[in-house]
Amino acid sequence: MKEVRALILRTAGTNCDLETEYAFVRAGATAKRVHVEELMEGSERLADHHIFVIPGGFSYGDDIAAGRVLANELRARLGDRIEEFLESGGLALGICNGFQALVKMGWLPRRVSSPAEQSFSLVDNDSGRFEDRWVRLKLRPGRCVFVKEEETIELPVAHGEGKFVARENALIDELFEAGQVVFNYVGPDGGEADYPANPNGSYRGVAGVCDETGRILGMMPHPERFVSPWSHPRHTREGLKPEGDGLRIFRNAVEHVRRNVL
């Protein structure tokens, strides 16, 4: 079986890289944690990998705004290499802080006609505080290669700036119509979610989006924190699942590379 290689980016303030590496290994890939300086100096090459991941954390202390400093660094010093990687068919995944960085780079929800143009952002939660809780998510396969089936899963969130916004809500409606909204928060009955089921107040409960190709995904919830079924807080009352809900997202990415790239 050919090797699928995932690069897990880390920098000052990253704190979910080990869990993300473990998730990709469980999904059947070879994963390597690489510091951003190694990419910039050329000792590690993005082109040697199939999946580029920006994991969660608080990159550079989230100074200015969450993910903003990392976004500027990546755009200014690695933008051309990331562009080449994506054009060659590579996958990109941004989780929480990684999602914030991808949006502020302009790579999500990127349009082929206007790459690297920032039209959306992630801002302070409506609650005005850091939200750390488990949420229910509706998966919307659409065009995203990381998601295969329409279903409802549970994952944890942990963020202070997770509200997905645009200049006007009509732009977000367009993302729904285009199949670029991949996850949205839902209530216990699977319907529209209010706080705290929608932890940040995103319009229509947007929790994750992809680009037009479906190969770049950003999401606020943390799939790497629910890879093992023992990680669910109610497993002793409700019983263990065969695997954590988050694992399928990593497995789908690995299977896509095996089918379409290798």
Active site residue ranges: 96, 222, 224
Q: Is residue 244 a contact partner of residue 227, using CB atoms and an 8 Å limit?
A: yes
DSSP for 107-169 reads -TT-BTTBTT---EEEE--TTSS-EEEEEEEEE--TT-TT--S--EEEEEEEESS-EEEESSH
What are the C-alpha distances in Å from 245 to residues 37, 72, 170, 251? Answer: 33, 32, 31, 11
Q: By C-alpha distance, which of 246, 251, 257 is closest to 219?
A: 246
Phi, psi of 187 (to 5 degrees): -80, 180
Q: Is residue 130 a contact partner of residue 85, using CB atoms and an 8 Å limit?
A: no
Q: By C-alpha distance, which of 169, 170, 140, 142 is closest to 152?
A: 140
Residues in the chain: 262
Q: By C-alpha distance, which of 28, 66, 72 is closest to 220?
A: 66
Q: Is residue 214 a contact partner of residue 142, using CB atoms and an 8 Å limit?
A: yes
Angle at 106 between CA 54 and CA 214, to 5 degrees: 70
